[in-house]
Amino acid sequence: MSTPASPSPETAAAPVLPAGRAIVLASGSLTRRRMFEAAGIPVAIDPPNVDEAELKRSMLAERVAPRDMADFLAELKAMKVSQRWRGALVIGADQILVQNGVVFDKPADMAHARAHLQAFRGRAHELISAVVICENGAPVWRHIASATLEMRPYTDDFIDAYLAAAGEVVLSSVGAYQVEGLGLQLFNRIAGDHFTIQGLPLLAVLDYLRIRGALGT
């Protein structure tokens, strides 16, 4: 069984920033951005523009383990953006949802979101969140965390009411839910770090940023 090779560096002109000081989030995720804003940590936002769907299809065909998929994609995002930000600490993250060995992706539309929630009903699934920090085009730190979430046996009517109330924001979540809002009503039990569930194990990231002098101690 083969696994994807590490992303190859790209060459590009980039601004020179003080090493270990500037923090860049290689993500277009509003949820991840808000995590840093809520913590009072200024970060530059630079989405990596990678074809995650195609990469996931390739890795699934190769039977790559979900943890390795999340780690690879997080590294790819961070490395790609790191080429443009020399001297900065660039954070890449990815999240994989697994239920009984089946990997779920973000729903494409509301009908797909409804199908997700029907599949999850009355069962437990795992969220795997990986984060990789790169500096000058190379990974310098990585962390993987997971959480187990058990959905209650809600009805189809409840699914429809939930989706109508929550709206298309659910399409930004791999599970078609957001535990920080109405989605909390879908669960019986949650075991895991809140930030891991939201797609970025933030406390571990902050510890590393302090070690590197990017945050106060």
Which candidate in 46, 71, 94, 160 is catalytic? Answer: 94
List of residues 6+ apart from 133 with CB closer than 8 A? 78, 89, 90, 91, 92, 139, 140, 141, 142, 205, 208
Q: Cα dihedral sign for 19, 206, 96, 43? A: negative
The values of phi and psi at residue 19, to 5°, are -60, 135
**CA-CA distance, 117 to 137, in Å (whole number)?**
39
110-120 vs 156-166: helix axis angle to the nearest 10? 140
Is 157 annotated as catalytic? no
According to DSSP, the residues that pair with 103 across neighbouring strands are 98
- Residues serving a catalytic function are 94
